[in-house]
């Protein structure tokens, strides 16, 4: 081309150089660079590597939170009955009797109880109410004093029945009593009331 020389391209097919002539002019081709395809590494040719051990940090076990429970608890409490004494003038002095029997009452108490892991840690009174009223016991004491009365008996100093009293007079006479007797009556003891005016042993003759 241009100068009429024919240049020929040297094609290398092996790793050693070749001389190739072209036309009337030969040119020595020295050892030309031969492109060599690099071998593909295989598992046998790869350098052995020790697998890297990666340590994963382990967190300590988390602490278990305490279990808290709140509940209502109802309790019953006894209310003791009271006692009262009354006086009764219609009952003989010194006599006693229970006229109303005492009965205990009941009070209901509601608490709010707190438990932590099953153990009671707090107890608070929320409300209270009387479920049953107590009954007061009443004891009656007698105060009556018996006094002598006109018809309470007969004086043993007279036959018949001369009443026992502070004074006895003959009925229809001038005496002022307070008790009177209808005669005649016989004096068998002492004439304590003065019924036998003539001392003949017979009283209230007229």
Is 179 within 8 Å of 172 (Cβ atoms)?
Answer: no
- The encoded tokens of residue 172 equal 């229809």
Average pLDDT, integer, range 171-183:
80
The structural domains of the chain, with segments of one domain joined by +, span 1-36, 68-144, 147-206
More confident residue, 43 or 6: 43
More confident residue, 61 or 6: 61
- Residue 193 φ/ψ region, left for φ over 0, alpha for ψ in the -120 to 50 degree band, beta for the rest: alpha
Token pair 């071998």 is found at: 39
Token pair 């790869």 is found at: 46
Cut 0.95: pTM above it: no
Is 15 within 8 Å of 34 (Cβ atoms)?
Answer: yes
Residue 134 phi/psi, 5-degree rounding, is -75, 155
What integer pLDDT is reported at residue 41 of this predicted model?
56
- 68-144 carries CATH number 3.30.70.980: no
Query: Could you read off the pLDDT of 76-109 as tens digits, one per residue?
Result: 999 999 999 999 988 888 889 999 999 999 999 9
């Amino acid at each position: 081309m241009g100068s009429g020389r024919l240049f020929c391209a040297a094609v290398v097919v092996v790793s050693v150089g070749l001389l190739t002539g072209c036309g009337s002019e030969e040119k020595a081709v020295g050892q030309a660079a031969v492109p060599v395809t690099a071998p593909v590494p295989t598992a046998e040719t790869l350098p052995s590597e020790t697998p890297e051990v990666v340590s994963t940090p382990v967190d300590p076990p988390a602490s278990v939170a305490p279990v808290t429970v709140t509940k209502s608890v109802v309790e019953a409490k006894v209310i003791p009955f009271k006692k009262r004494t009354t006086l009764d003038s219609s009952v003989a002095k010194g006599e006693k009797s229970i006229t109303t029997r005492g009965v205990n009452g009941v009070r209901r108490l509601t608490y709010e109880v707190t438990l932590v892991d099953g153990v009671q840690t707090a107890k608070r009174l929320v409300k209270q109410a009387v479920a049953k009223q107590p009954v007061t016991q009443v004891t009656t004491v007698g105060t009556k004093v018996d006094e002598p009365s006109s018809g309470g008996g007969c004086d043993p100093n007279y036959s018949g029945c001369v009443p026992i009293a502070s004074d006895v007079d003959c009925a229809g006479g001038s005496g002022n009593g307070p008790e009177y007797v209808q005669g005649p009556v016989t004096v068998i003891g002492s004439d304590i009331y003065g019924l036998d005016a003539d001392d003949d042993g017979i009283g209230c003759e007229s």
